[in-house]
Chains A and B, each alone.
Chain A
Amino acid sequence: MHALHRRSDTWLGVTLLLSATVHVAAFVCMLWLQQLNPALDQLQTTYYVDVVNLPVVAPQAGNPLPEANATVEEAVATAPQAGPQKPPATPLPASGGGKVPPSEDHGFQERMAKLTAKAAEQRQAAALESLRAKISGGKTGMPGATGSQSGSDYTAYLHSRLKDAFRETISYQSAAPFAVVRLTIDGDGRILLTRFERSSGDKLFESAVQRAITLAEQRIVPPPGRTTYEGTFVFKPQGVTQQ
């Protein structure tokens, strides 16, 4: 009896140890693989927040999630209006062109706001419920956010708009250009200030960034709560490493 006990004890120990070492080895292998693949790391440094699954930094303060959804719908809805033009040409602001009346801009925003509010009411409950179910821990919102920022999901939204626009304008003449840009967006979703805080000095690249911002501005919705938004973005070519 005694002997049997002892024997099963060692068996247990051995299996536990085996299992532990195998797991650790597997874990370490995965870590190693990740480290061997720095390009992957590079590509993933951006915070692309899945607007369907993640709430704001301070969930109790706003209703950003459905709003973001509404944005997508709105973009889809406005697209056919402008006719069969190429995407960059679609939401032209009124200045100079003469085709689009100046009031359109305003009406667009009003409709946007309405849609936003409506969609928000409808989906807030459901979305928050599903979120609660999905995320059991306290970690929600932007990584590193403190919960006091004005809507970090708006940052994610802007990021996605800027990234889309940047794809269409990117152009540079130096080896590893970058530009750090601080954007101030007013409550109407217009860019009040574009400040180049730092830049590698490639003027062609800077102008590509400026063009991307101009292009993105034509498509963005106002920040949540129509408050002024400030955010800093680093523009650089994909796959180019900086020292």
Chain B
Amino acid sequence: MKRIIRLLFGLALLCSLTGTAGSATYIEVTAPGNRLLRLAIVPAQPLGATIKPELANEMAEAQVFDLTMSGLFTAERRDAAPLPQGLGLSVIDYIPWLSAGYDLLIRGEYELRGDELTVEFRLFDVLSKRPLLIKRYLGSRTDLRRFSHSFVDELLATLAGERGPFSSRILFVSTQSGNKEIFAMDWDGHHLQQITKSGAITISPDVSPDGREIIFTSYKRGNPDLYKRALSSSVDVPLSTRPGVNITGAWSPDGTKIALGLSKDGNTELYLINRDGSAPERLTVTQAANLSPSWSPDGSKIAFVSDRLGRPHIFIMDANGGNVRRLTTNAGNNFNPAWSPKGDKIAYTHQSGGFQIFVINTDGSGDTQLTSEGSNERPRWSPDGRLIAFSSKRGGNEAIYVMRADGSGQTKVSRSGGNSTHPVWTPHH
């Protein structure tokens, strides 16, 4: 009996030891929560004789929106007395900002001479009382939003280690001019520009990795063919005009190949073609439809849609067509996979009744619904993976929306008329 008791005690002691063993040899400093950095933006002050407060306000508002959508900051526009000796020579009094609870401060100055605009922005750390980032921009008056976005992108690189997406533009399909044509806009909807004027149905734009060329499918010759065009030009080069459909072209990350769906041999199958449209190489062999390829960021894999098992589902295969595996296992229909720039997730459209946007890990785990209001389709990641653009119909016309990668902050950004769909971000330059 004694022996049993001793054994019990021994075991108990062992238990308690293993329970507490491995405690830190370092001192752990922990804190609860995850706060947003508070950032105050003072509208830029004029440097020369021309005083245009509306310019300063527009720049500040653009930056407040960018910073808010980044999800890392609470950004507020705050007015403050201009620095008497300009940004370069004045000493910043940090104490009022510190006592008001701000972590960071952006101040700027601008000079407008005719149409020529010079802007300087400075980011200050209120706590350590030093400038973190200083950027000077030279251009014309119409560049002022571009300058503002660019500074926020740099700010994110400085503070969070990765450039922001706000200098990117979004290409999309709009019916503003009647039929579906491709348009471009700033990520926040400004500077709308019509790219194609083919007068025929034009859909599915994709941008080359260098940001210079786009591919799209157009009916301008009667058949859904794939065309290429330099963004600086207005000439469409036919890339794939094979019989049947030539749809859902997607540039490979290295820009040398294009994956697309062709039905030249019967049903729609995925092929690779060179960037000049030559040398088609077949990737899928099924009796079903295979389309909407999306490359993994390293170019080794392709996610795509196939209804080979009945309903359309998202599949993943190697870029040479091998190792096909099914990704989605839900009961609905699944379209438009978009591989995240970090490579770990795939956003897609799920349809059971209405359309909603989901995101799933590439191993099939963590399937998460991001949207629930209205009907939402065609997710596309911003180049840094922080944001997702998509098309949404929430009463009225379909429009381009942007949300953070976790589904928060869903905001309508397109201002074009008609229906706007098929968003795609231009890459970082």
Task: Give residues in A with beta carbon < 8 Å to B.
Answer: 17, 20-21, 24, 27-28, 31, 34-35, 41, 45-47, 85-86, 88-89, 92, 95-99, 144, 155, 159, 162-163, 166-167, 169-173, 180, 201-204, 207, 211-212, 214-215, 231-239
Contacts and interface: CB of A to CB of B under 8 A. Distances in A.
A84 B28 CA distance: 32
B27 A237 contact: no
A102 to B, nearest CB: 14
Contacts, number: 130
24 contacts: A24-B9, A24-B12, A28-B15, A31-B12, A31-B15, A35-B15, A41-B20, A45-B24, A47-B27, A88-B101, A89-B98, A92-B95, A97-B129, A98-B91, A163-B31, A166-B31, A169-B103, A170-B31, A171-B35, A171-B37, A203-B161, A204-B159, A211-B127, A237-B32
A97 B94 contact: yes
Given A203-B159, A214-B128, A233 B35 contact: no
A174 to B, nearest CB: 10
B235 interface: no
Contacts of B309: none
B89 interface: no
A237 B31 contact: yes
Contact of A28 (B12, B27, B33, B91): B12
B83 interface: no
B32 A97 contact: no
A173 B72 contact: yes
B158 to A, nearest CB: 9
Given A34-B19, A170-B34, A171-B35, A180 B101 contact: no
Contacts of B160: 173, 203-204
Interface string B48-86: 000000000000000000000000100000000000000
Interface residues of B, number: 42
A32 B103 CA distance: 45
B31 A204 contact: no
Contact of A234 (B19, B27, B128): B27
A232 B161 CA distance: 24
Contacts of A31: 12, 15-16, 19
Contacts of A162: 29
B244 to A, nearest CB: 45
B103 A211 contact: yes
Contacts of B27: 46-47, 155, 159, 231-234
B160 to A, nearest CB: 5
A212 B8 CA distance: 47
Given A46-B28, A203-B159, 13 more contacts: A27-B12, A31-B12, A31-B15, A45-B28, A46-B30, A47-B27, A86-B101, A163-B31, A173-B160, A202-B161, A203-B162, A214-B128, A215-B127
Interface in B100-142: 101, 103, 125, 127-129
A28 B16 CA distance: 9
Contacts of A89: 95, 98-99
